[in-house]
């Protein structure tokens, strides 16, 4: 791998002689072990997720030689389809991917089956069990099963019960091998429902069989956070309150609610983005080094972060939380409706589509360091990144020449669309005068390694087949996140002045700059932590023009 010279803002930064670099694959060519032969049962296979993510990921794994031999995919849903009908539907969903590799598609398609079921009918699942046993016999097919719940959350509990009652959760009995269940986020809609879902899961499955899926965790750049932090000796010593001023985690989307109003009206941005993705990123950035790179060691450390979260003072939420809802506006030159005008949204809906949260972690490492979690729909640009802002130099030698402040060092971990890590630092601008110039040193994640990148659903499906729970959520972390968020949700949803709490922003208006501005105002606040900890309020945190927009 060649280290590239970067030219930033006119300044050329030589990264030194390119080191001889050996790529160290974490686990073999892509993985050292092959998964056991198994059947992947997709429940809700007539839906969007199956066509857009699950089957394309399985097909890509097949083309990469990563699927077990033999394997089989069984789609199940209420919709009546034949095997052939389901294969055609999946071929259409794959589009060019299937057309460009017809031979592979034909072999893959031969392993796909379909069964019509009723999610609350014992006989449907008994029939499914018979089918799994009968069809597997004589094909060297071990009776290992994955049940992937690609159904709306409201159907999960009943389906789990049916799978359990049909004896399909049992392991190593009646000729069955292992059995696993994949549950998609959201995991409940509050603490109570998350506990209820978990109880149902645990009535039939043990924790090692349960794979709670948040595809964000499997993005290469997200996985890279732990490598970056713990495979380099230079960052860990400064990864704490002494050197870090603040950490910002942003996930901005240009899209609106699209066709998901039914779900979004019940969820809003806090349930949709914060309970899972944002809290996971927070844990990866804040956790202590685990003793080993093993699923439970890593997940133990994440849980410790969640246990240390300072509860929000619900009586003064405005100091820690800003909620917004998009109004009409221009996104990439196209006029778009406001949230309340989207199909399926209530005309006076108070559901937030934007949130910015200031979080503190009460432990030795992070005491007093704010973590900003920011996510919104219909923003001016689509991006996910994390910025670690370091503290200013304690004493500036250059004060007389350069003034009071010297720009701080920033480490940015780009997750989307720029998959990169960049470190910003100060250099002397070449020439006779003493001028500082901030430059960045960049690493682009896909540099020369594009082929090795694995799409998140591929990685998670493969890990599930391998029984590796590292990138899946454990119940205690789900529960702790809900414990942290539920009082905020309650306060936001029950308070009489909800419309006061919610700010309205113009669609497409806020991009990185506006969010930067939002952060900067907050950084000032954080710089004054200690003497003026409580000075933050939402009126200073909004970018110019962002607040005070007429309510639609």
Shortest Cβ 405–ligand NAP spacing (Å)? 43
For ligand NAP, the binding residue among 5, 33, 48, 258 (CB under 6 A) is 48
Q: Encode 215-230: b = buried (16+ Cβ within 10 Å), e = exposed.
A: bbbbbbbbbbbbebbb
Q: Encode 414-426: b = buried (16+ Cβ within 10 Å), e = exposed.
A: bbbebbbbbbbeb
Q: How far is CA 478 from CA 82, 161, 205, in A?
A: 38, 21, 17
Strand partners of residue 244: 390
Position 49 contacts ligand NAP (CB under 6 A)? yes
Position 47 contacts ligand NAP (CB under 6 A)? yes
d(CA 153, CA 120): 14
User: How far is C-alpha 193 from the chain's CA centre?
Assistant: 21
Q: Could you tell me which stretch among 5-13, 46-54, 164-172, 409-417 binds ligand NAP (CB under 6 A)?
A: 46-54
Residues in binding contact with ligand NAP, number by CB under 6 A: 16
Q: Which is nearer to ligand NAP, 151 or 286 (CB)?
A: 151
Shortest Cβ 277–ligand NAP spacing (Å)? 10
DSSP-derived letter for residue 183 is E
d(CA 30, CA 9): 38
Shortest Cβ 337–ligand NAP spacing (Å)? 22
Shortest Cβ 342–ligand NAP spacing (Å)? 17
Position with the least CB separation from ligand NAP: 47
Q: Which is nearer to ligand NAP, 150 or 273 (CB)?
A: 150
The torsion angle over the Cα atoms of residues 539, 544, 548 and 552, rounded to 10 degrees, is: -130
Shortest Cβ 367–ligand NAP spacing (Å)? 35
Strand partners of residue 355: 323, 375
Q: Which is nearer to ligand NAP, 217 or 244 (CB)?
A: 217
Q: Which is nearer to ligand NAP, 46 or 248 (CB)?
A: 46
Query: Catalytic positions, please?
Result: 277
Report helix angle 279-286 to 475-494, nearest 10. 130
The total of other beta-carbon atoms located within 10 Å of residue 386's CB is 23
Q: Could you tell me which stretch among 45-53, 281-289, 432-440, 473-481 binds ligand NAP (CB under 6 A)?
A: 45-53
Residue by residue, DSSP assigns 148-164 as EE-S-GGGHHHHHHHHH
d(CA 57, CA 80): 24
Q: Which is nearer to ligand NAP, 217 or 424 (CB)?
A: 217
Q: Say whether 283 sits in a helix, a strand or coil.
A: helix
d(CA 200, CA 194): 10
d(CA 529, CA 486): 27
Write down the residue that tokens 């794994």 correspond to.
Answer: 61
**Interactions with ligand NAP, residue window 97-156 (CB under 6 A):** 150-153, 155
d(CA 230, CA 112): 41
Q: Which is nearer to ligand NAP, 78 or 334 (CB)?
A: 78
For ligand NAP, the binding residue among 46, 276, 389, 479 (CB under 6 A) is 46
Shortest Cβ 154–ligand NAP spacing (Å)? 7
Q: Encode 90-109: b = buried (16+ Cβ within 10 Å), e = exposed.
A: bbebbeeebeebeeebeebb
Shortest Cβ 217–ligand NAP spacing (Å)? 13
Position 158 contacts ligand NAP (CB under 6 A)? no
Shortest Cβ 456–ligand NAP spacing (Å)? 11
Position 44 contacts ligand NAP (CB under 6 A)? yes
* 294-302 contacts, C-beta under 8 A, 24 or more apart: 294/470, 295/468, 295/469, 295/470, 295/472, 296/469, 296/474, 298/226, 298/470, 299/469, 299/470, 299/473, 299/474, 299/477, 302/477
Q: Which is nearer to ligand NAP, 44 or 56 (CB)?
A: 44
Q: Which is nearer to ligand NAP, 73 or 523 (CB)?
A: 73
Write down the residue that tokens 């130099």 correspond to.
Answer: 393
Q: How far is CA 69 from CA 65, 111, 185, 285, in A?
A: 9, 11, 29, 38
Q: Which is nearer to ligand NAP, 155 or 423 (CB)?
A: 155
Q: Could you tell me which stretch among 44-52, 91-99, 126-134, 307-315 binds ligand NAP (CB under 6 A)?
A: 44-52
Position 56 contacts ligand NAP (CB under 6 A)? no
d(CA 534, CA 315): 13
Q: Which is nearer to ligand NAP, 49 or 527 (CB)?
A: 49
Strand partners of residue 140: none
- Draw the binding track, 71-100, toward ligand NAP (x: CB under 6 A; -: no contact): ------xxx---------------------
Q: Which is nearer to ligand NAP, 275 or 389 (CB)?
A: 275
Q: Are 428 and 434 in contact (CB under 8 A)?
A: yes
| Helix (H) / strand (E) containing 2 | none
Interacting residues toward ligand NAP by CB under 6 A: 44, 46-50, 77-79, 150-153, 155, 184-185
């Amino acid at each position: 791998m060649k280290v590239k010279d970067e030219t930033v803002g006119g300044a050329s930064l030589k990264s030194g002689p390119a080191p001889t670099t050996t790529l160290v694959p974490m686990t073999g060519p892509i993985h050292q072990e092959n998964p056991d032969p198994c059947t992947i049962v997709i429940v809700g296979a007539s839906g969007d997720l199956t066509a857009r993510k699950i089957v394309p990921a399985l097909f890509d794994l097949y083309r990469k030689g990563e699927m077990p031999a033999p394997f089989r995919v069984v789609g199940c849903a209420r919709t009546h389809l034949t095997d052939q009908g389901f294969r055609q539907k999946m071929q259409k969903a794959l589009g060019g991917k299937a057309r460009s590799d017809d031979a592979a598609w034909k072999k893959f398609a031969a392993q796909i089956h379909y069964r019509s079921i009723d999610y609350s009918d014992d006989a449907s699942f008994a029939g499914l069990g018979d089918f799994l046993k009968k069809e597997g016999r004589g094909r060297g097919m071990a009776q290992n099963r994955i049940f992937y719940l690609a159904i709306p959350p409201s159907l999960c509990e009943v389906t789990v019960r049916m799978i359990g009652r049909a004896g399909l959760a049992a392991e190593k009995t009646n000729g069955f091998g292992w059995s696993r269940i994949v549950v998609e986020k959201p995991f409940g809609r509050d603490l109570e429902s998350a506990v209820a879902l978990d109880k149902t899961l645990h009535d039939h499955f043990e924790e090692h069989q349960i794979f709670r899926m948040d595809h964000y965790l499997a993005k290469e750049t997200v996985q890279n956070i732990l490598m970056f932090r713990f495979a380099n000796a230079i960052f860990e010593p400064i990864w704490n309150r002494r050197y870090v001023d603040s950490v910002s985690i942003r996930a901005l989307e240009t899209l609106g609610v699209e066709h998901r109003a039914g779900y979004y009206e019940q969820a809003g941005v806090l349930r949709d983005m914060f309970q899972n993705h944002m809290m996971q990123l927070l844990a990866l950035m804040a956790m202590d080094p685990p003793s080993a790179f093993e699923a439970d060691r890593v997940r133990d450390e994440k849980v410790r972060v969640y246990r240390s979260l300072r509860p929000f003072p619900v009586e003064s939420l405005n100091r820690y939380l800003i909620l917004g809802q998009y109004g009409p506006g221009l996104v990439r030159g196209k006029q778009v409706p406001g949230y309340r005008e989207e199909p399926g949204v209530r005309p006076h809906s108070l559901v937030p589509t934007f949130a910015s949260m200031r979080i503190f972690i009460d432990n030795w490492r992070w005491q007093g360091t704010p973590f900003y979690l920011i996510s919104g729909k219909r923003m001016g640009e689509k991006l996910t990144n994390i910025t670690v802002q370091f503290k200013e130099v304690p004493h500036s030698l250059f004060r007389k020449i350069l003034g009071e402040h010297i720009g701080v060092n920033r480490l940015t971990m780009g997750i989307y669309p720029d998959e990169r890590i960049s470190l910003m630092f100060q250099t002397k601008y070449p020439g006779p005068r003493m001028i500082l110039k901030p430059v960045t040193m960049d690493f682009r994640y896909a540099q020369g390694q594009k082929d090795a990148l694995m799409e998140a659903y591929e990685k998670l499906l493969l890990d599930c087949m391998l029984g590796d729970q590292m990138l899946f959520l454990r119940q205690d972390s789900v529960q702790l996140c809900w414990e942290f968020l539920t009082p905020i949700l309650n306060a936001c949803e029950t308070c009489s002045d909800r419309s006061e709490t919610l700010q309205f922003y113009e669609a497409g208006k806020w991009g990185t700059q506006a969010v930067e501005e939002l952060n900067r105002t907050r950084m000032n606040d954080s710089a004054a932590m200690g003497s003026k900890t409580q000075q933050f309020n939402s009126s200073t945190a909004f970018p110019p023009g962002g607040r005070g927009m007429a309510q639609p």
